[in-house]
Structure 1
Amino acid sequence: MKVFGVTGWKNNGKTTLVAKLVAEITSRGFTVSTVKRTHHSVDLDTPGTDTFKHRQSGANEVMLASDARYAILKELSEPPSLAHMISRLSPVDLVLVEGFKSESHDKIECHRKGGERPLICESNTSVVAVATDAPIDAPVPLLAIDDIVDIADFVLAKVGLEKGMEK
């Protein structure tokens, strides 16, 4: 599976860009999955539910399944690596990773006008372009943050899933 990332500081458009890239790239016939990094504590379970009771009683993994989707809740003793998380996904053409600034995979940095934080690409060589709505000086190519077709073309070329290779 090919892996490409979208990174940037908070409120600079990462999630919006990832969602638009998923829609654009899947419309071209490629399969896409995503991994989203959060620094918040996440619990998709609710005290009192059956799955909560399963976990509380000691289950290592609990699968909650419906006719439309399923979720696996796994208890962890330490944070998993990005490689481990990706290995748990079903095979697809492309995995888009949101966040994970310090990981080594290629990524686009999102930068919005008025951003006060320094550009990540100044100190991180895994950032290969900046998607922005501001006239900035950067050591990597600049892409218009609202030109999703151009950004998708850039991503697909970077990972080797170029035009003409659609399924």
Structure 2
Amino acid sequence: MAKQPVVLQLVGYSDSGKTTLLTRLIPGIEQAGIRVGIVKHDGGHDFEWDQPGKDTWKYREAGASLVAITSRTKTAMLEQRPLALSELIDRMAMAQADLVLVEGFKRESYPKLVLLRRPEDQELLSLVTAPVAIISWEAFAHPVLPVFSINDTDGILHFIRKYYEDGWGKGAR
């Protein structure tokens, strides 16, 4: 059985800056020696992964349930079915991720960083479970949770490293 990774979700409304923030944080986490896995929820857009006309696309179009491709430097696999977040995390564990950062999946029960872009986004705090910190585009204070500015990359990185070291997100299902 693979070692269970620490899990931390980043949730926010559309265009709140989730992907941009994660791309700023990943290098600092990896440089700290923490192997990061990312799971992105595609809120119903039915993403397209492989290129029309390429071999993997042809196999998928022919009806294969699973298509994998590997090269000298990387591997990818596409399944023709949705998976639960817990299953995706288990697969990240098998791939030896230390920390799984999840973008989206607002209704899941893992600990969450809540990203607030506009004042009206504050309602999200009452709609999600297990918030552990807030990242805000505007000055904001919370009576219990730590609040970071969207531009405080170092502060957010420090929080995530501490979160990982303390193992807060293990077994949070």
Question: Could you say whether these structures have the same fold, taking a TM-score greater than 0.5 normalized by the shorter chain as the test?
Answer: yes
Asked whether the 8 Å contact 1:121–1:138 carries over to 2, the reply is no
Give the secondary structure class of the aligned counterpart of 1:135: coil
Shift of 1:135: 2.0
Give the secondary structure class of the aligned counterpart of 1:71: strand
Asked whether the 8 Å contact 1:13–1:111 carries over to 2, the reply is no
Structure 1, gaps ≥5 residues long: 163-167
**In 1, Cα distance between the equivalents of 2:51 and 2:34?**
35
- Opposite residue 89 of structure 2, the aligned amino acid is I
**In 2, Cα distance between the equivalents of 1:65 and 1:128?**
37
Asked whether the 8 Å contact 1:106–1:128 carries over to 2, the reply is yes
- 2:28 equivalent to 1:24: yes
Which of the residues 14, 19, 35 maps onto 1:15? 19
Shift of 1:36: 0.8
**In 1, Cα distance between the equivalents of 2:137 and 2:53?**
46
Q: TM-score, normalised by structure 1?
A: 0.84
- 2:36 equivalent to 1:45: no
- 2:94 equivalent to 1:94: no
Map Cα deviations across residues 6-26 of structure 1 (whole Å, 9 max, x no partner). 111111111111112211111
Give the secondary structure class of the aligned counterpart of 1:157: helix
Q: Structure 1 runs of 4+ off > 6 angstroms? A: none
Higher helix share: 2
Shift of 1:137: 4.3
**In 2, Cα distance between the equivalents of 1:101 and 1:50?**
35
Residue number in structure 1 paired with 2:147: 142
Residue number in structure 2 paired with 1:132: 136
Indicate the larger mover: 21-30 or 133-142. Answer: 133-142
Query: Once the two structures are aligned, what percentage of the paired residues are identical?
Result: 34
CA RMSD in angstroms, aligned pairs only? 2.0
Structure 2, gaps ≥5 residues long: 168-173
Which of the residues 51, 62, 71 maps onto 1:57? 62
Shift of 1:130: 0.8
**In 2, Cα distance between the equivalents of 1:17 and 1:52?**
31
Q: Number of aligned pairs?
A: 159
**In 2, Cα distance between the equivalents of 1:52 and 1:127?**
39
Q: TM-score, normalised by structure 2?
A: 0.81
- Opposite residue 23 of structure 2, the aligned amino acid is A
